[in-house]
Amino acid sequence: MPKFAANLTMLFNEVGFLDRFDAAAKAGFKGVEYLFPYDFKADEIVAKLKANNLTQVLHNLPAGNWGGGERGIAVLPDRVDEFKAGVDKAIEYATALGCKQVNCLAGIPKDVDAATAHKTLVANLKYAAPKLKAAGIKLLVEAINTRDIPGFFVTTTKQCLAIIDEVGTDNIFVQYDIYHMQIMEGDLAKTIEANLSKIAHIQLADNPGRNEPGTGEINYPFLFDYIDKLGYSGWIGCEYKPKTETVAGLGWLPK
């Protein structure tokens, strides 16, 4: 059975962020992920990881003004210096947390044409990948559906793979989000199988609603078994919105 990591941005919102590590461990999780660690001191998070014997699986590069609606800055040509500074900051945190992979959210190219956005994104990824590799950290890129985030630049597995090919380094991989890709393209099992060597991390939620597995149309028992038979050895991040309380909705989680 795949390894599941609790996404602490989405799960255990019944308590404050630092207390979610305790809650995740109590619920049986061995790994955690979340959007960003940067609002907290790294040593505060390290203490929570160690106290609960948790693996830090993933976090994102800094993504601009999240509260103001930004969803990444990697496609914005006037924010390249900020992006590069964010790579350094992500390396600092990931190294302290023992996190071996970070995800780049491409962003929404407002007032930027598609060709310029693409060129900027590729150049930024070419900058980030070797710096992260030198620190022992994988760089991931994620496609996101345009229903939840209208205008997001990377929207399909095919586009994500084409960008990775253009970057042309061995330290860039796909973060494959089952929920987003069910909305944008479907054919989940075969897409994962065809691109398994490029997929370093998987995330899940059911559709519609982005709630826990078993609440929507995706056949998760089949998919978990399929992924397991493919030999996927990475983590699956539980990036969903619990329908009620987090623990009450964990009945889907294999023992």
- Strand blocks (E) in the chain: 3-7, 31-33, 55-60, 101-104, 138-142, 172-177, 199-204, 235-238
Q: How confident is the model at residue 2 (pLDDT cuts 50, 70, 90)?
A: confident
On the question of pLDDT at 255 being above 80, the answer is no
The residues that bridge with 102 in the sheet, in sequence order, are 59, 139
The residues that bridge with 204 in the sheet, in sequence order, are 238
Q: Is the pTM of this model over 0.95?
A: yes
DSSP 119-148: HHHHHHHHHHHHHHHHTT-EEEEE---TTT
Strands 235-238 and 3-7: parallel
Which sequence spans correspond to the domains of the chain?
A: 3-249
Q: Residue 74 in contact with residue 86, Cβ under 8 Å?
A: no
Per-residue pLDDT tens over the stretch 175-189: 999 999 999 999 999
The pLDDT value given to residue 254: 80
On the question of pLDDT at 1 being above 80, the answer is no
Q: Does domain 3-249 have CATH number 3.20.20.150?
A: yes
Which secondary-structure segment (H or E) carries 24? helix 17-26
Residue 176, CA atoms < 13 Å, CB-side half-sphere: 29
Strands 3-7 and 55-60: unpaired
The pLDDT value given to residue 156: 98
On the question of pLDDT at 212 being above 80, the answer is yes
The pLDDT value given to residue 99: 98
Which of the residues 212, 217, 239, 245 is marked catalytic?
239
Rounded to 5 degrees, what angle do the CA atoms 47, 19, 213 make? 115
Q: How many helices (H) and strands (E) does the chain have?
A: 8, 8
The pLDDT value given to residue 209: 97
Q: Catalytic residue at 239?
A: yes
Which of the residues 142, 185, 193, 212 is marked catalytic?
142
Candidates 129, 153, 212; CA nearest to 178 is 212
- Dist CA 14 CA 9 (whole Å): 11
Q: Catalytic residue at 142?
A: yes
3-state secondary structure of 71: coil
Q: Residue 223 in contact with residue 188, Cβ under 8 Å?
A: yes
Tell me the pLDDT of the chain averaged across its residues.
Answer: 97
The pLDDT value given to residue 61: 98
